[in-house]
Amino acid sequence: MNSKRWVLPKITPEKNEYGGLFIFFTVYELFPQFVVIFRNKVIWWILAILLFPSIGYASPRYSAKNGILDLSAWNGEEFIKLDGQWEFYWNEFLPPDKAATRQEKMQYMNVPSGWNDHKYGNTILPMKGYATFHLRVVNIPRMENLAFQTNGLSTAYSLMVNGKEISRNGQIGKSSMESIPAYHPQTTIVPLEILKKAPGQARGRMDLDITVHVSNYHDRKGGITRQISMGSYDTLNLRFIYKTIIDTILFGIILIMGLYHINLYVHHQKDLSWLYFGFFAVLIAFRTMVTGDRLFYYIYPQFPWALGMKVEFLSFYLTVPLFAAYLYHLFPKDFNRFVHKLVFGLGLVFSLIVVVTNPIFFTRTVKIYQVVSLLIAGYLFIVLGTTIYRRREGSIILLVGALILITGVLNDIAYHNYLIKTMEIGSYGVGLFILSHSYLLSRRYVSTFKMKERLAENLKTQAESFHRFVPTQFLELIGKDINNISSGDSRGIQMSVLFSDIRSYTTLSERMTVEDNFKFLNSYLRRIEPIIEKYNGFVDKFIGDAVMALYHGDWSGASALDSAIEVQRQITIYNMDRAKANYPLIHLGIGINTGFLMIGTIGSSNRLDTTVIGDTVNLTSRMENLTKIYEADILISDNTYKNLENPDRYYIREIDSIRVKGKERPTVIYEVFDTNPDDQILLKNQYAGELMSAILHYKSQNFFEAMKIILAIEKINPSDRLIQIYKERIRLFMEDPPGEKWDGVFKMEKIV
């Protein structure tokens, strides 16, 4: 941060009615490291303006003496506060013109203050009673819109100017039955006829006689307990509007922060500090509306006074234990568990007193609770000091926020006990405190979120690793995820199965070391697995050099065949590389079948494996073995042939009808020779019709005709293994006919 310091504004309580600015910048001077949170000093000015408003300066302090307030030096541009010594008449409701006749009962009382414990003659005044306050204000500039702003007289009053009532609050009375408490802050314009008749000692000046009747039978304090302001209506109204805007903004910010942290807890339910901080902020938000200028009563003027007092006191009595609970769950290793329970218990006990008793009783408990709160605050500072010593995350921010908070609380306690003449700034201190703590909780949340991101990334990596063993498609097909899959989960489904195998792999592997075997297999499998996925298939198993792949969909047979063709072509390219390295070439046989099968899991609670079961799978395996007999690159079943979307785009020929060992139903098999050398493709296409005719004669036991066609084809392509197979079979059947019941299906008893 720039080492150049910027000059603090010259703000003093005498020039500004808000001592908050002074406190705000004092905190800045004492704890400059706090500015690290807000590196731009412009932001500090914005916060200062928002949280500690400076619009509406009161004019330099005027103080009444002996019941007279001289405003000769006041120009009327600012508002003034009618503070100082007022005439005071106990148990009297006197009109102004009678005050002079009751001089023997008159005393002076400082306003604002309560009459509680005030010595009146030889009597100490109680909290209950009624009285008259009288003040002469002289040399006021004449103005047509002179107004008075009352902000809290306890608990009912009538305000008169020159003998005429201009405002009232509740119903004054000489007993608890007659007096009705209320709290309706208001700004009232003095009627023009009163101002016109007001006497004056100098030109352009006038004198006013102000009388206030006050009664109190319901609160712990009686009298003019808050300041009465006087000035032009425009000035007072602007002041009210500005403070209303500030209080509304503060209420909204704190409430949103509170609800946000409650919502965090509801959705995560991990960190109780979020929940307690959320409730703490919500209570503070509503407290800003029922204290200070009490905006709540402007919005709901008919709200019951007693209920409003309960809300005000509960918002104080509950916030202390909620804040302590927040710190306890934020730093559980540094906060004593017993103290946490004690603080929470005290808060609930005092709150219960508020709920079940009337204001005249529970308002007396506030001084006791203020002392308790200061003791709790002292312990909290010890806790925060411990967290700083132990280098807990965010402890410095917490301490600075707590200092701001306690400054505001101490100011309010001193203000309400008439020890200082400032204003209520506790709400603003709480606002800054909540901002700092929200910043801290946000940092903790971001830290938690980043940790969860890392965990999620690790889980994703683990899931990806897991799916290298168990394909995602497999789990999707059985409708399960990795977290709830169990032994026996299965599903019947129509699929195409592909088996591939390296011919003569045993002989090949014997020439290699174990390490070379693994390198070779991985090199080979890396080439064919992506091709299978390319055509929407997935590898179910690697069985040594063999691969079992599954395909799902309306045209799964075509997908399986397309991948088989590309695999064979990839092997051709692979063999070119092997030839350059003087490695032996490899050849694959691929069998494909389509049909119904069961896909699922088998195993125990500790070890699971995926598998597919059914005749479709068994037949596919045997068809792959048949590629060795027919020396074919790819063989497909009649079910797969029927599942081809467009069979004409492949080079396909029917080669046999077989019945494998253990099966009664015959299977027609086809050779797909797209991957044969070009000359073989041309030759096989050339005699395709003749070959089909020979097979039909063969199945009809017309062996002589079949042999004649086969011998003719042999002259065209003697290297065609299929021709040699049929030549040998026909020769055997001509020597030993199969009989009339023979259906033309060849039994693979020994071979497969």
Shared domain check, 526 and 503: yes
What's the pLDDT at 47? 45
Digit-coded pLDDT (tens) for 564-581: 999 999 999 999 988 998
> Which positions ≥6 away from 217 have C-beta within 8 Å?
128, 129, 155, 173, 175, 176, 179, 181, 360
Shared domain check, 400 and 259: yes
CB-CB contact of 109 with 133 (8 Å):
yes
Task: Measure the CA–CA gap between 744 and 695, rounded to whole angstroms.
Answer: 9
Shared domain check, 442 and 370: yes
> Which positions ≥6 away from 751 have C-beta within 8 Å?
625, 626, 629
What's the pLDDT at 8? 35
What's the pLDDT at 45? 44
What's the pLDDT at 600? 76
Distances (CA, A) of 554 to 479, 493, 611: 19, 12, 22
For the cut 50, the answer to whether the pLDDT of residue 751 exceeds it is: no
Shared domain check, 257 and 398: yes
Tell me which residue of 499, 576, 579, 568 sits closest to 539, measured CA to CA.
499
Extract the tokens encoding 232: 């032009």
Which of 639, 655, 676 is a domain's end point?
676
Ranking 30-44, 312-326, 708-722 by mean pLDDT, the lowest is 30-44
Identify whether 461 is part of a domain.
Answer: no
Ranking 37-41, 191-195, 321-325, 343-347 by mean pLDDT, the lowest is 37-41
What's the pLDDT at 475? 66
Q: 636 - beta bridge partners?
A: 592, 670
**Total number of domains constituting the chain:** 4
Confidence of residue 750 (pLDDT cuts 50, 70, 90): low
Identify whether 174 is part of a domain.
Answer: yes
What's the pLDDT at 605? 61
What's the pLDDT at 357? 93
Task: Measure the CA–CA gap between 87 and 106, rounded to whole angstroms.
Answer: 6
Identify whether 464 is part of a domain.
Answer: no
The separation between CA 447 and the C-alpha centre of its own chain, rounded to angstroms, equals: 13
Burial class of residue 260 in the structure, from the number of CB atoms within 10 Å of its CB (0-12 exposed, 13-18 middle, 19+ buried): middle
Range of the domain at 43: 20-55+244-448
What's the pLDDT at 9? 37
Q: Is the peptide bond before 321 cis (omega within 30 degrees of 0)?
A: no
Shared domain check, 158 and 79: yes
Ranking 115-124, 643-652, 725-734 by mean pLDDT, the lowest is 115-124
CB-CB contact of 498 with 592 (8 Å):
yes
Task: Measure the CA–CA gap between 539 and 550, rounded to whole angstroms.
Answer: 6
What's the pLDDT at 64? 93
Give the type of residue at 224: I
Task: Measure the CA–CA gap between 299 and 265, rounded to whole angstroms.
Answer: 32
For the cut 60, the answer to whether the pLDDT of residue 729 exceeds it is: yes
CB-CB contact of 32 with 41 (8 Å):
no
DSSP element (H, E) containing 232? strand 228-232
Identify whether 426 is part of a domain.
Answer: yes
What's the pLDDT at 207? 93
What's the pLDDT at 486? 57
What's the pLDDT at 457? 79
Shared domain check, 305 and 201: no
Confidence of residue 161 (pLDDT cuts 50, 70, 90): very high
Confidence of residue 634 (pLDDT cuts 50, 70, 90): very high
| DSSP letter for each residue of 393-433 | TTHHHHHHHHHHHHHHHHHHHHHHTTSS-S---HHHHHHHH
Identify whether 430 is part of a domain.
Answer: yes
Q: Tell me the average pLDDT across 354-366.
A: 90
Digit-coded pLDDT (tens) for 266-291: 887 667 888 888 898 888 888 888 87
Q: Tell me the average pLDDT across 712-731.
A: 93
Q: Tell me the average pLDDT across 153-162.
A: 90
The separation between CA 688 and the C-alpha centre of its own chain, rounded to angstroms, equals: 69
Digit-coded pLDDT (tens) for 368-402: 998 888 888 888 888 888 888 888 776 777 777 77
Q: Tell me the average pLDDT across 329-338.
A: 87
Shared domain check, 644 and 497: yes
Shared domain check, 249 and 318: yes
Shared domain check, 300 and 199: no
What's the pLDDT at 281? 85
Identify whether 104 is part of a domain.
Answer: yes
Q: Is the peptide bond before 155 cis (omega within 30 degrees of 0)?
A: yes
Confidence of residue 417 (pLDDT cuts 50, 70, 90): low
User: In the chain, what percentage of residues exceed pLDDT 70?
Assistant: 82
Shared domain check, 230 and 256: no
For the cut 70, the answer to whether the pLDDT of residue 331 exceeds it is: yes
Burial class of residue 333 in the structure, from the number of CB atoms within 10 Å of its CB (0-12 exposed, 13-18 middle, 19+ buried): exposed
For the cut 60, the answer to whether the pLDDT of residue 100 exceeds it is: no
The secondary structure of the chain in percent helix, strand, coil, rounded to multiples of 5, reads 50, 20, 30
For the cut 60, the answer to whether the pLDDT of residue 686 exceeds it is: yes
What's the pLDDT at 23? 42
Neighbouring C-alpha atoms within 13 Å toward the C-beta of 389: 8
Crossing angle (nearest 10°) for helices 688-699 and 678-686: 60
What's the pLDDT at 463? 59
Q: Tell me the average pLDDT across 316-331.
A: 87
CB-CB contact of 732 with 706 (8 Å):
no
Tell me, what CATH number does 611's domain have?
Answer: 3.30.70.1230
What's the pLDDT at 482? 58
- For the entire predicted model, the pTM comes to 0.54
Which of 212, 237, 262 is a domain's end point?
237
Shared domain check, 685 and 619: no
Task: Measure the CA–CA gap between 390 and 487, rounded to whole angstroms.
Answer: 50
Confidence of residue 4 (pLDDT cuts 50, 70, 90): very low
Tell me which residue of 420, 377, 409 sits closest to 291, measured CA to CA.
409
What's the pLDDT at 716? 94
Digit-coded pLDDT (tens) for 424-475: 676 677 777 777 766 766 676 677 777 777 877 776 776 565 555 556 666 6
SS3 at position 443: helix
Q: Tell me the average pLDDT across 221-229.
A: 88
Tell me, what CATH number does 253's domain have?
Answer: 1.20.1070
Identify whether 219 is part of a domain.
Answer: yes
Identify whether 467 is part of a domain.
Answer: no
Digit-coded pLDDT (tens) for 524-538: 888 898 999 999 898
Confidence of residue 483 (pLDDT cuts 50, 70, 90): low
Shared domain check, 715 and 646: no
* Burial letters 583-598, b for 16+ CB under 10 A, else e: eeebbbbbbbbbbebe
Q: Three-state secondary structure along 592-615?
A: EEEEEEEEEEEECCCCEEEEEECH
SS3 at position 484: coil
Average pLDDT of the chain is 82
Considering only residues 178 and 58, tell me which one the structure prediction assigns the higher pLDDT: 178
Which of 676, 711, 726 is a domain's end point?
676
Tell me, what CATH number does 229's domain have?
Answer: 2.60.120.260
DSSP element (H, E) containing 165? strand 164-169
User: In the chain, what percentage of residues exceed pLDDT 90?
Assistant: 36
For the cut 50, the answer to whether the pLDDT of residue 20 exceeds it is: no
Task: Measure the CA–CA gap between 671 and 250, rounded to whole angstroms.
Answer: 81
Q: How many helices (H) and strands (E) does the chain have?
A: 23, 23
Between CA 673 and CA 683, with CA 677 as vertex, the angle to 5 degrees is: 70
Considering only residues 99 and 353, tell me which one the structure prediction assigns the higher pLDDT: 353
Ranking 6-15, 39-48, 168-177, 558-567 by mean pLDDT, the lowest is 6-15
What's the pLDDT at 468? 57
Digit-coded pLDDT (tens) for 603-623: 666 666 667 888 889 899 889
